[in-house]
A and B are shown apart, each in its own frame.
Chain A
Amino acid sequence: MFDLRAALRAAALLAMLAFPAAGFAQGAPNADRPAAPVTGFNPDKAEVHEGEVLAKAPLVGHIIIPDTRAASLIQPNGRVWRDYRRGPLLWLTAACVLGMVGLLTLFYLLRGRIMIEGGRAASLIKRFTSFERFMHWLTAFSWCLLALSGLNVVAGRVVLLPLLGNDAFSTLSVWLKYTHNFVAFPFMAGVVLMFLVWLRHNIPNARDLAWFAKAGGLLGHEHPPAGKFNGGQKAVFWIVVLGGAGLSVTGLALLFPFSVTDITGMELMQVIHGGIALLMIAAMLGHIYIGSVGMEGAIDAMKTGEVDLNWAREHHALWVDEVMAEGTASVHPAE
């Protein structure tokens, strides 16, 4: 059989013997090109330094397994994320939860419960339909579960673990994790419903500025006139809608890991999700306070949907005037 490789080798040897200069042609002076130095370059010797490659961090290469995430060789961002989680995140949690509870306690001690100035009237006025109350409590209950289970992931190791021990805390945490992942959906539904139903009452206007200028009657005893929702309630509405949207987007990205972003993106999503959630927790603590112990008559709006007429006149004078004028007001004597 004719051996092609052997024949080629023989031909090459003959050529080298016949033209001894041919093997050095690249290094030889040439009329057209300047001489290139003979380096004896060995590609295996070229040092590839981690530090230089990592400067283009994260260090991603080529792999032969299907899991594309494994192509990331070193991602030093993990350290940054860890430092954030062990430091600023815990401080932010303490500030938003303990700080807000402290502020509200101080406010209660200084201002006391905000009473209905004119005392309770003899009649009630319909303020929220049963559907409005349903969507409020759907959001509220799911939000409470989400906030508590989320806080457990952030601070449970510091607060609850020493009390419960590893096994009990781990069992609690895994159930809270599933709670967080699945209750997210009723929360999102509630936010969407509230956005659709209450948007037309929550367009900011000049009256809101006047309301904020007088701190909404929180500090003094003068209640600036307001429509169905006053400036503070509109602020709560937009905090819930925008905050809820932010939480939903980042939360869905976290629920479906690596489907929309890479490892750095996932870390960023987690940071944003936690940050928005903590600011919302602070805001909602204020909302819960003023809707319950902080103000006489406020809870009725979401409990029975009917509020005291004097309370409505003090806090939502323009709304009372409007529904009275429209003839849509449903007023009946208190029992």
Chain B
Amino acid sequence: MARMKFLCDADRCIECNACVTACKNANEVPWGINRRRVVTINDGKPGERSVSMACMHCNDAPCAAVCPVDCFYTTADAVVLHNKDLCIGCGYCFYACPFGAPQYPKTTNFGARGKMDKCTYCSGGPEAADGSAAEYAKYGANRIAEGKLPLCAEMCSTKSLLAGDGEIIAQIYRERVVKRGYGSGSWGWQTAYQETINV
């Protein structure tokens, strides 16, 4: 089975935020929630790089480890999903997440966060029927069930953001780095998968 991953080639990202927009549109996420975002480091200075970041679907995911009600599960594609019917909105996954992926739809005071929402790798939720209206309302699109990759990566104009089997996208990145002669590395991979791409 494939081990699905995201890879953001920071040397290609132009901070156009199309991935963010594509995600919002594909999943109809509520106002104020960003499942994906683009962070620019060294903004306006030499070495400026932009990285598109969402849930990295970590190995041994910290969010799943700290959840008091054990509402997370991992799919056969190694995508980390959660069950909104079980989520109590305690906010612990946000503290544990290295990437700031968990989002909450309500104002956060007095523990009223609402059900956590995060990137599903466009693979819906635990609902029995893939692509059902109930699943879409809670979790958004289920493109994986349709044989498609997450829309953010599919929409990326510079193909900076790659989604797919970790082995394959690592190979694509490796070839790019060899051909152009430089590469900033696979951002977040060390933290999420305890490995980097050796060129």
Query: What residues make up the interface of A, taking CB atoms closer than 8 Å to B?
Result: 43-51, 53, 59, 61-65, 67, 69-79, 81-82, 85-86, 152-154, 156-157, 161, 166-167, 169-170, 173-174, 177-178, 180-182, 255-258, 263, 266-267, 270
Contact status A255-B109, CB under 8 Å: yes
- Interface stretch, picked from B93-101, B136-144, B152-160, B165-173, is B93-101
Question: Is B147 in the interface zone, CB < 8 Å from A?
Answer: no
With contacts A46-B46, A61-B43 taken as known, whether A86 is within 8 angstroms of B66 at the C-beta atoms is yes
Number of cross-chain contacts by CB at 8 Å: 157
Chain A residue contacts of B62, Cβ below 8 A = 78-79, 81-82
Instruction: Tell whether, in the assembled complex, residue B32 and residue A67 are in contact, meaning their CB atoms are under 8 Å apart.
Output: yes
**Please, how many residues of chain B have a CB less than 8 angstroms from a CB on the other chain?**
56
Q: Which of B10, B37, B66 contacts A48 (CB 8 A)?
A: B10
CA A75 – CA B92 in complex, angstroms?
14
Closest 9 CB pairs of A and B: A62-B43, A61-B39, A61-B41, A181-B111, A82-B62, A174-B88, A170-B86, A73-B39, A62-B40
Q: Which of A46, A69, A86 contacts B100 (CB 8 A)?
A: A69
Beyond A81-B66, A161-B69, is A72–B86 a contact (Cβ under 8 Å)? no
User: In the complex, are the beta carbons of B90 and A48 less than 8 A apart?
Assistant: no
Say whether, besides A61-B40, A73-B51, A81-B66, A49 and B185 are in contact (CB < 8 Å): yes
A63 touches B40 (CB 8 A): yes
Report whether B41 and A153 are in contact in the complex, using a CB–CB cutoff of 8 Å: no
B184 contacts A49, CB within 8 Å? Answer: yes
28 A-B contact pairs sorted by A residue (CB < 8 Å): A46-B46, A47-B182, A47-B184, A48-B42, A48-B47, A50-B184, A61-B40, A61-B51, A62-B39, A65-B34, A74-B53, A74-B188, A78-B96, A81-B62, A81-B96, A82-B65, A85-B65, A157-B68, A166-B83, A166-B86, A167-B86, A169-B69, A170-B85, A170-B86, A174-B88, A177-B90, A182-B110, A256-B109
Whole-angstrom distance from the CB of B36 to the nearest CB of chain A?
10
Give bound CA distance, A161 to B71, whole Å: 11
By the criterion CB–CB under 8 Å, are B40 and A267 in contact?
no
Interface majority SS (helix, strand, loop, mixed), chain B: loop
A53, B68: Cα distance in complex, Å? 32
Question: Does B49 count as interface, using CB distance less than 8 angstroms?
Answer: yes
